[in-house]
Amino acid sequence: MDKEELTPKNCETILVSACLLGLPTRYDGKTKRSQEVLDYLQREKLTPIPVCPEQLAGMTTPRDKTFFQSGDGRAVLTGNGEAVSEKGLSMNAIFCRGAKMTLEIAGLSGCRRALLKEGSPSCGVHRVYLGEEKVAGVGVTSALLLNSGIDIISEEDIK
């Protein structure tokens, strides 16, 4: 199937964190449904392609909370950072797998932009958690998308 066959004609696609669309994909099994995101998509005539990198990588919902022990998503991609679960398990490989699958979906659906959940270890755009502290940085998926030329914004950027 061609990517043109997968999306409506004259309608740009955009990757969107599934939790922002109202799907219960967060680590705690909850949603972060954002009416502002839904209004933005409609106003801009964008077709959302829902993604949850962590679920794409095979993680269950609910799942253990994950944060960066060192660095951020860029550092994880270069082998210089560490994402760990609340139980202390390294999550680098699974987060990189989810990021790669998300990038593959972007290619299949013709997405050149993404609207992702701020603060997430996968999707954070401006901030992530280093331990329990919010710090400037990007999630693993955001870093890979940026490296691949995809523009990203968070739900906070459209307010």
pTM of the model: 0.93
Give the Cα separation of 25 and 5 in Å (integer). 27
pLDDT at 143: 98
Q: Provide the residue range defining the domain that includes 16.
A: 3-158
Q: Which residue spans within 18-158 are E strands per DSSP?
A: 46-51, 66-70, 82-85, 113-116, 127-130, 133-136, 151-154
Give the Cα separation of 26 and 21 in Å (integer). 11
pLDDT at 8: 53
pLDDT tens per residue across all 159 residues of the chain? 444 444 455 689 999 999 999 999 999 999 999 999 999 999 999 999 999 999 999 999 999 999 999 999 999 999 999 999 999 999 999 999 999 999 999 999 999 999 999 999 999 999 999 999 999 999 999 999 999 999 999 999 997
| DSSP per-residue codes, 30-44 | -----HHHHHHHHHT
pLDDT at 7: 46
Total number of domains constituting the chain: 1
